[in-house]
Structure 1
């Protein structure tokens, strides 16, 4: 397998490349291989015990936290709760957003156009980038402003990928989490990482033991053809956490993927009952009864997953990718074969390489 991975890595000029197969029915048995280096131009080898930045794979974690919050005793929240119901302190919600629901936020159906919004709110966004606000205050301010604008498209009707929607879900967790873990950052540590013993997970840039050391994958910008190393602490600002700042070791992230394999096949898990996974895994268009559109909107669920099919993995499976522009990762949950897969690299774009690795994993042509 390493030779095959190495061929793919070399073909696409990647600094490092890792792939893992998680066999959930075999008590989470993991077969993983890593090839290449942590930093281009340095001989420090990438390893399967390194930590990898997950980017937007964080979104499925945030949605899982929302499902857990909904299950909290005495909590009146549901996926169909509207923004005014869930966040009554937001005072400037335009009428067109009064029926926007949590499910719409999770499935990217809330009508946001992130680019247009950030152009309108550039001073606020720059202040968040510069650390003027705490992560919780930054998310609160973004939520207050987001719903004061008319939606770009009618909420609940059209898909438009949105990090803003997940920052707002993070603000909802900031607002409703129990006092002992009253922010998204605390909630994900206390209610997800600790119970699943995801000890190799953290938030923000992939850490180095000392600044400028090379003890984990180093981030790279895409180059032509070779990748370009960037400062080791390059990442999204902390306020964006719910949309994409988690990093994990493979063995820790495998526990999260295994949770979703088990939930998909109807098993009650340590964190959520079996029926809670239905909304997390079912495309929003199916849940809402909307007609198929023939595009990505048909596949995206409120749980931060894209639902698709392949006979190579027993039918329906869940997929997502993640990038903070200087790392790239794929996750696949394949309940039909009771397995999950992870692919990661330390450069910001590698879609073709990831697809080749995924095909190899699906068809066993990588030899593991």
Structure 2
């Protein structure tokens, strides 16, 4: 899974489309500049959606245009949802942030280096675990039932010496899959069911997992992912194996994703929703190391003048799609940029879309 979490907002991408131009036209200019199949973006404040637009094709080679209500793949931006889901278990006292892997997996001979790793360390990529399973193991896990695959992955990685020194930062999808599996062990329900029951249904989010529509459909009803080759862009409706769920398989329309972002803005400002303010504070707190910005809620916490303080950001990609999100809770603003292609051009384009959205605040 390709996942780029970036710290600095657009130091090299400049906005050239704003003055005298509406948001839709601006996005079309960005889409053409970076040669994307499609791009969509929105900015929302406490007064509602300020600007929203989508432009381009759901699938190259077809006439169907993307819409602002289409579902886009969020990739690793799913992790913030998994962390929020975790907080619901913490509040029910079914789990503790400080629970150790040894105590959570008493039946497994945990490698001595991992015995005292805390659950919360999984959420900030401090458990020393590999980024992803190797190709052969990935293929074997892909053939199993989702929850069984997560159980096998956890067992395999927890009995061996971690790839990296415990306590050092190494971005790990494996860690989030194990975190999701722990919730499954506690509840007896799959991570997908937990997400539906505890987040999507409660918040009224029309979201799902994996590909946005059938890869056998003759006419694209939702955005297809795309892969950039040497001289072409190829549409592919695919995703990481379903067992990757807690690390990054959610897809959402922008407006529904924004419902999730809104509770984090409210939580930062002292308003409870599906979890308590104290839980939001934990999710918005970085790992306690000087200079670290990655929080227990799967955000990069930065400071920006335009936001009058903290911003929380993350990006995500399954290599075929790209998502880019920013929330600025002190000014009660959220910004989303998404595309149905991955790679550096999608990263630069969604950054440019974020800049365009910021212009709408002026």
TM-score, normalised by the number of residues in structure 1: 0.87
Equivalent position SS for 1:69: helix
1:247 aligns with 2:251: yes
Give 1:154's aligned residue: 165
Give 1:86's aligned residue: 104
1:12 aligns with 2:34: yes
- Deviation of 1:78 after TM superposition, in Å, equals 1.5
Give 2:337's aligned residue: 343
Over the residues paired in the alignment, what is the CA RMSD in angstroms?
Answer: 1.8
1:213 aligns with 2:219: yes
- Deviation of 1:312 after TM superposition, in Å, equals 1.5
Moved more, 103-112 or 216-225: 216-225
Equivalent position SS for 1:284: coil
Structure 2 unaligned residues grouped into runs of 5+ = 1-22
Q: In the comparison of the two structures, how many residue pairs are matched?
A: 338
Match for 2:282 among 271, 279, 283?
279
Q: Call closer, same or farther: CA 1:309–1:225 in 2, change over 3 Å.
A: farther
Following superposition of structure 1 onto structure 2, how do residues 91-170 of structure 1 map, counting pairs within 5 Å? 91-114=108-131, 118-119=133-134, 122-129=135-142, 131=143, 133-156=144-167, 158-170=168-180
- Deviation of 1:253 after TM superposition, in Å, equals 0.8
Match for 2:208 among 193, 199, 202?
202
Structure 1 unaligned residues grouped into runs of 5+ = 293-297
Following superposition of structure 1 onto structure 2, how do residues 247-326 of structure 1 map, counting pairs within 5 Å? 247-269=251-273, 271-285=274-288, 290-292=289-291, 298-326=292-320
Which whole-Å CA distance do the structure 1 matches of 2:304 and 2:152 have between them? Answer: 42
- Deviation of 1:210 after TM superposition, in Å, equals 6.7
- Deviation of 1:208 after TM superposition, in Å, equals 4.5
Equivalent position SS for 1:32: strand
Give 2:15's aligned residue: none
Which whole-Å CA distance do the structure 1 matches of 2:231 and 2:163 have between them? Answer: 37
1:70-122: per-residue Cα shift (whole Å, max 9, x none)? 111x52x2111111122323x1211110111111100111111235xx34xx5
Which whole-Å CA distance do the structure 2 matches of 1:246 and 1:42 have between them? Answer: 25
1:256-282: per-residue Cα shift (whole Å, max 9, x none)? 01011111122111x101010112111
Match for 1:222 among 221, 228, 231?
228
Kept after mapping to 2: 8 A contact 1:201/1:252: yes
TM-score, normalised by the number of residues in structure 2: 0.89
Which whole-Å CA distance do the structure 2 matches of 1:272 and 1:192 have between them? Answer: 10
Kept after mapping to 1: 8 A contact 2:51/2:357: no
1:329-362: per-residue Cα shift (whole Å, max 9, x none)? 1111110210111111000121111111112222
Kept after mapping to 2: 8 A contact 1:220/1:347: yes
1:280-316: per-residue Cα shift (whole Å, max 9, x none)? 111112xxxx333xxxxx1111211111121112221
Kept after mapping to 1: 8 A contact 2:337/2:351: no
